[in-house]
Amino acid sequence: MRLYHNPRCSKSRQALALLKERKLEFEEYRYLDKGIAEEDMDLLISLTGIIRTQEITQSARFDLGKPADIRQLLVDNPKALERPVLIKDGRAVIGRPPEIILDLLK
């Protein structure tokens, strides 16, 4: 289980706390430092709302309807990833609100 985490984000910190409170084993993945893991890219791209549009500059030319463009955007600018995201057993959920990640644990 992997949590895409940005420690500066309150929602991300809340999701991290939910997992820790339950004493679950997971990887706290700091994507701003490491980039997006290639093995997670297809799954992340498939999520509706995975891009933080406010992080895209006006000069960027990305079509958010095209998976290849979303992939390139996340490679070029990991900060554009909506967070937090929990990945478990080939499924993923955006933790907005953070409690949604608990649905993936059922």
pLDDT digits (tens, 9 = 90+) for 14-71: 999 999 999 999 999 999 999 999 999 999 999 999 999 888 876 567 888 999 999 9
CATH number at residue 24: 3.40.30.10
The pair of structure tokens assigned to 27 is 């990887």
Q: How far is CA 74 from CA 14, 45, 71, 99, in A?
A: 23, 9, 5, 25
List 9, 32, 47, 104, catalytic entry: 9
Q: How far is CA 18 from CA 32, 33, 73, 89, in A?
A: 21, 22, 29, 19
Number of domains in the chain: 1
Query: For this structure, is 75 an active site residue?
Result: no
- The stretches of 1-106 forming alpha helices (DSSP H) are 10-21, 31-34, 38-45, 67-76, 101-104
pLDDT digits (tens, 9 = 90+) for 39-52: 999 999 999 999 99
Q: Give the pTM.
A: 0.93
**Can you give the pLDDT at residue 63?**
87
DSSP code for 93? E
Structural domain that includes position 55: 2-104
